[in-house]
Amino acid sequence: MPEETKSGCCCPGVEGNEGSATEKRLGWQEYFMSVAHLISRRATCTRGHIGAVIVRENSILSTGYNGAPSGLPHCNESNCRIYRSIHPDGTVEENCVNTIHAEINAIAQAAKHGVSIKDSDIYITASPCIHCLKVLINVGIKTIYYDKPYKIEHIAELLRLSGIRLVQVNVQSDQRG
C-alpha cells in the first residue's frame, strides 16, 4: 500500500501550511499562566478554582490546584467547613478546613517526587494568601507570577522583607485552558 505524502508544514508563513501567519506565539509568562489556568480546572474547592505551576529555566517542575488532600472527600455545600481569622488590621479572613491551597499542593507534589524547587518561580492564577507566601519564602521561590490579585495588602510587608518579586501576568480568556 503506497504511503500518502503531504507537502508543506503547519508552520505559519510557510507555503502549503494550514496555520495563519498572524497567529502570535505565546511568551513564556503567558504560556505558564495559561497552564496554571488549565490546572485550576481540576480544583475541587467549591469556593474558588486556583492553579499553580512551579517553573525553573522554562521547565515545569510541579503543579497543584486547591482541594482536599488525596483520598479524602472533596468539599460540597454540606461539608465545606469555614473558619474565620482576624488580621491585625481587623479584616476577616475565611478559609476552608478541608482545602489545601494550590501553591502548597504544588510544593507537596515536588517533595513527593524528590524535585528540588529552590530558586524557581511560581505561576498562580491568584496572588498567594499570607500563609502560602510564608511557605513560598521558605522553599526558595524567587518570583511569584499571578493573574488576579487576592488581598495583596496583607502580603506587601512580607514581600518587601523577603525580596521575592510579585509580578502580575494577565492572560486573555481565550489563552486560558
Binding-site positions for Zn(2+) read 101, 129, 132
Angle, helix 130-139 to helix 102-112, in steps of 10 degrees: 30
Catalytic-role residue among 77, 93, 103, 157: 103
DSSP string covering 102-165, please? HHHHHHHHHHHTT---TT-EEEEEEPPPHHHHHHHHHHT--EEEEEE--SGGGTHHHHHHH--E
Cβ proximity of 102 and 64 under 8 Å? yes
CA distance 50 to 146: 10
User: By three-state DSSP, how is residue 89 classified?
Assistant: coil
Grid coordinates given for 84: 474565620
Cα 38 to chain centroid, rounded:
9
Query: What residue type is 132 in one-letter code?
Result: C
User: By three-state DSSP, how is residue 85 classified?
Assistant: strand
User: Is there a catalytic annotation at residue 103?
Assistant: yes
Which residues form the catalytic set? 103
